Structure formats: structure tokens, C-alpha cells
Amino acid sequence: LVQRLAKRRVAEALAPDDPRDFSSLPGLRDFGLIQAALDSLDLPSPFNIPHDARAGAHSVIAGREVINFSSYDYLGLNADPRVAAAAHVAIDRYGVSASASRTVSGERPVHGALEAALAEHHGAEAALAFVSGHATNVTVIGHLMGPRDVILHDASIHNSCLEGAKLSGARRIAFPHNDWQAAERALADTRRGAERVLLLIEGHYSMDGDVPDLARFIAIARAHDAWLMVDEAHSLGVLGSTGRGIAEAQGIDPREVDIWMGTMSKTLAACGGYVTGRATFIDWLRHTAPGFVYSVGIAPALAAAALEALTILKAEPERVAKLAANGALFLRLLREAGFDTGGSGGHAIVPVITHSSVGAVRLSGALAEAGVNVQPIIFPAVPEQSARLRFFLSAAHTPEDLRTAAACLAHADAAQRRAG
Ligand code: PMP
């Protein structure tokens, strides 16, 4: 539908062949299609809308307070004065920027303190922090693997892992989402011809809000001499009774996984990425990973904010329990209202699959009018049939917020169906 509606308008919008014109770039064409489709349906673009406040469970958009489901502030720490105070102190002491790569004079004591706390929290020997979560996956995977290797990854793995895999030049094989048996078959098929194999999964999938069977993936990685790497961007502070992630939730010794990856942009209310694992591996990254050696160190204020957020997470596990209760309640409310929530486990991410990009944008627009902010995820980010609204929950949402949002969604959906 999107493509049909937009075809003519896009054809008009694209400039004629000109080798120095950028308008033929494929991503631009996709974006043009979406924009034209939204225009023809008189729908406002749902992207890049500025928030005028600390976006967490609540926010302010265009001067209006909204219940917000579009930020990753899982434990409500983005609005916590202790986190902000830690950042202020670090700015006063060290300035805004690290002003150099950590390898050559960008190192500050707060970097090491953060890494020690991350390693301890994950039960690992060591940790290394990078300037962004995306950059972490790109540089770690891109640097670790090479053209004679194989990377086996879940079909729903995050873009940053795919970009790292592409950079490495390794052979890439996707297995169907969470299907460890298919992963094992692919491993058995490819293992002999490959020098090294990396099995790549997430601990809590960002599109569907579901989790893999970690013990199975550990077993097949062991059986075929592959490294197992788990991206825990959406698990820290979310899974496990003290927010240590999928290993804690599933009763598994974290040392069974070779590489844990996480971000500081979600539960830790800052910005940056990290990996934890054996000291030899972390040391090797510290001295050779291009995204570490040739990139500025994480800003001291962000490292300090993340460290403070981690300290609060450890001291106040009731936040993790509150998020879990919110997730379970919201999932139940949406299921009772008859919405397709896919495979979501109701932890912190609950999709409402609309099976249509236009439907998702319309619902998101109607919810915005009702004071509920939720982002649509539409083609080409997902296949048209998988278009959805994606709700990110926070420990700072009240049960009332969740009931209001579910009621507004049911109302908007009914109105949309009546209008055909
Ligand atoms: N991994 C996953 C699974 C993600 O969802 C994201 C971003 N949401 C990243 C890595 C990148 O993290 P960041 O946004 O902190 O750069």
C-alpha cells in the first residue's frame, strides 16, 4: 500500500540521472517513499520529534505533557538527581570532553572505576567501555573476526552487530529468530571449513521483547568450538531479580558466555557501550580495537553518570521488580484487549503488531493526540507485515499510566477500524 500510494510522487521527487546528485542513494529512495506516502495520507511524520524535557516515563512534546513509551529509560534513572549530580561533578573536575583517545592521555579515573563496576556486576574478569553501544559492536565484532571466519547470528540481531559482521569480512549466516536447532544445524554445516566461529545473539530482543534459551546456545557453542557473544543492551536492569541480565534470569553462570556486550544508553541513563569477558580478551581490545584506540574516550560526565546509575541499580533492586510488574501488567492489558503482542515476554518491550505501516502511523498519531507518545516501527525498518507500535516500559510508569495507555490504544484502534 505504501509503495502504491507513493510511487508517482516519488518518481516526481527524484531528480533525473546526474552522477553528482545524491538522490539515487537507496536509503534516500526508501525514505522518499515513506514521506510521500505519509503526505498523501495527510499524516505527520512520526520521526525526529523533539522532546522538551528529560524523556523517561513522562515527557513534554510541543509544550504538552505526555505519558512516554519511546525512551529506553528502563529504571527511571534519567530523571534521578543523583545521576545528574555525578555528571555535574565530573564536568567540573574533568571538563566536558576526554579530549583524547584514552590510549594517549584521554584516560580519567572514572573510566577505570566504571569498568571495574561493570565487570563486577556481570561476574566477569574485566570490562572495556566505548563511546557508543553501536560503535562497540561494530568495532569489537569487526576486529575480532576475519575473512576466514564464520559469524552465525539470529535473524533479528541488531543493526550494529550486522555492521560489525560486514566489516569483519567473515561469512555471515542468519538463523531463524531464537531457533537454536537451526543454529546448531548451520554450525555443524559450516564449522569444519571455518577458522573461527562466532555465535551472536541478544539477551532480550529490542523489536519483539522476547528472550532466547541461553543454555541451549551455550551448549551448541561449546559442542562446536564457537565463541558465544550476547548483546545485553536491553537486559541490564531489566532481566534477573537484580537486573544482571539473562544469565541471572535463567540461572546460568555468566562465565559460560565468552563475550557480553551492553550499552549505557538505556538503564544506565548515559551514552556509551561496553564489553565484558576474560581479562586477556579485554586487554587485547584495549590495545588493538580501532574503535577504542583511535576514538576519543567516553566523556567523563557520561562515565560518571553511568557509574552512579549502576550503583543505584545495585542498591535499589526494587526498581527492577517494579519494571517487571509494569511489564507483566501492560502485556496482560493489551492481550485482554485483543492486540497482537507477538512473542513479547512482557519484560520492558511490548510491541503491538499492526501488520501495516499506515495503520501503525495512524495509531501513533491518535495516541499522541490523547497524550500518549509511542513510536511506530514501519517499513523498511521492518517488513510491512511486521509494522508495529513499540512500547518501552519504565519502572517510573505508574499502573495508572499503563491503564490509560491501554485504554487510549483500544479506543484509537476501534475508531480506526470503524473508519475502515
Ligand atoms: N544493541 C542493541 C540490541 C540495541 O538495541 C542498540 C540500540 N538501541 C545498540 C546495540 C546500540 O546501542 P546505543 O544506542 O547505545 O549506541
- Domain residue spans of the chain: 1-39, 43-72+318-419, 79-315
Report which residue type is found at 165: A
Report the DSSP pairing between strands 259-263 and 227-231: parallel
Please state the rounded mean pLDDT for residues 221-245.
97
Is the pLDDT at 9 greater than 70? The verdict is no
Per the CATH hierarchy, to which homologous superfamily does domain 43-72+318-419 belong?
Aspartate Aminotransferase, domain 1 (3.90.1150.10)
List pLDDT tens digits, range 113-156: 999 999 999 999 999 999 999 999 999 999 999 999 999 999 99
List pLDDT tens digits, range 147-172: 999 999 999 999 999 999 999 999 99
Distance 393 CA to ligand 1 centre (A): 16
pLDDT band at 4 (very low <50, low <70, confident <90, very high): low
Distance 9 CA to ligand 1 centre (A): 34
CA neighbor of 269 nearest in space, from 307, 224, 316: 307
| CATH architecture of structural domain 79-315 | 3-Layer(aba) Sandwich (3.40)
Question: What number of other Cβ atoms are within 10 A of residue 21's Cβ?
Answer: 11
Distance 158 CA to ligand 1 centre (A): 7
Cell numbers placing 228: 558465544
pLDDT band at 6 (very low <50, low <70, confident <90, very high): low
Is the pLDDT at 227 greater than 90? The verdict is yes
Whether the ipTM is more than 0.95: the answer is: yes
**Atom in ligand 1 nearest the alpha carbon of residue 271:** 15
Counting every residue, how long is the chain?
420
Any idea which of 94-98, 411-415, 416-420 has the lowest mean pLDDT? 416-420
Give strand ranges (E) for 62-208.
64-68, 126-130, 150-154, 171-175, 197-202
Give strand ranges (E) for 94-233.
126-130, 150-154, 171-175, 197-202, 227-231
pLDDT band at 39 (very low <50, low <70, confident <90, very high): confident
Cell numbers placing 160: 550494529
Cα separation, 250 vs 213, in Å, equals 8
Question: Average per-residue pLDDT in the chain?
Answer: 94
In three-state secondary structure terms, 266 is: coil
Work out the end-to-end distance of the chain between its first and last CA atoms, rounded to an integer number of angstroms.
Answer: 14
pLDDT value, residue 73: 97
Report the DSSP pairing between strands 273-277 and 259-263: antiparallel
**Atom in ligand 1 nearest the alpha carbon of residue 272:** 15
From the candidates 111, 143, 204, 234, give the one annotated as an active-site residue. 234
Residue 132 CB–ligand 1 contact under 6 Å:
yes
Cα separation, 153 vs 166, in Å, equals 12
Let me know if 266 is a catalytic residue.
yes
Is the pLDDT at 204 greater than 60? The verdict is yes
- Cα–Cα distances in Å, from 251 out to 64, 173, 215, 246, 354? 44, 29, 9, 8, 35
Let me know if 158 is a catalytic residue.
no
> Is the CB of residue 28 less than 8 Å from the CB of residue 22?
yes
The protein residue with its alpha carbon nearest to ligand 1, atom 12, reads 133
Cα separation, 189 vs 224, in Å, equals 10
CA 291 from chain centre, in angstroms, equals 19
